[in-house]
Amino acid sequence: MRDRLILLPGWGLGVSPLEPLAAALRGLDEHLQVQIEPLPALGSSDLGEWLDELDATLADNAWLGGWSLGGMLASELAARRGERCCGLLTLASNPCFVAHAGWPSAMPAETFDAFLAGCHADSQVTLKRFGLLCAKGAEDPRGLSRLLVSGAPNTPSSVLMPGLELLAQLDTREALLAYRGPQLHLFAGLDGLVPAEAASDLLALLPDVEVGLIEQAGHAFLLEDPHGVAGAIQAFLHECVDD
């Protein structure tokens, strides 16, 4: 199914941020089947359980991709599936979302801990703050933030919290190194959640894969310029198929 691309969304905001990108991709190639699949609604932050759920739900032998947390999960699932995954693409997706000694180009741990505490206290207020961070660096950050948050599903904190806890512990570096298929990773130069330096760090880790940096864009660049992002993805898919 080299004509099927499955996209996974980021934390908390649901599938709507990916819809303009999916529509743009379909417009570029009528033969490409683009599916957006919601993240599992689990009460656990155990990575194995999340991957079991995704592996059982998502079609086999497809391209896997995702935005932010969705890209991290797509990376882990690609490594698990190996040759049963056509290729991997991630958007604003850091191998480690929270910084540590082995991967400093990420969100400071104290910032994330405050975010986690805020979500526990009031998940809806935290989602609004998250929307603002996603929109940082955009031409119209407030407008983009409102768009992101207004399209978010009404998810209970009992489901939002495990997703955040999973985000804190994920380290996809081993998965990315293990997966032998084609990879494209796109980052944003003005991202308020994933430092731009993560792009060069990832390229140093994986010199044989495609890593791109969109300079004047924030975390939600896929919603700011869906046609430009779709063009980059389309070129990557065609290059891999032609090979």
Q: Which residues are catalytic?
A: 68, 191, 219
Give the phi and the psi of residue 52 in degrees, each rounded to 5: -60, -45
Give the phi and the psi of residue 14 in degrees, each rounded to 5: 75, -165
The two tokens of residue 27 are: 């417009």
As a whole number of angstroms, the distance between CA 69 and CA 93 comes to 7
Residue carrying structure tokens 């660096």: 137
Three-state DSSP class for residue 204: helix
Give the phi and the psi of residue 103 in degrees, each rounded to 5: -150, 80
| 86 contacts 61 by C-beta, under 8 angstroms | yes
Closest CA to 185 of 78, 103, 111, 101: 78
The two tokens of residue 73 are: 């999960």
As a whole number of angstroms, the distance between CA 116 and CA 160 comes to 10
Bridge partners of residue 184, in order along the sequence: 89, 210
Spatial CB neighbours of 69, under 8 Å, sequence gap ≥ 6: 8, 9, 10, 11, 39, 93, 97, 163, 166, 167, 170
As a whole number of angstroms, the distance between CA 136 and CA 131 comes to 9
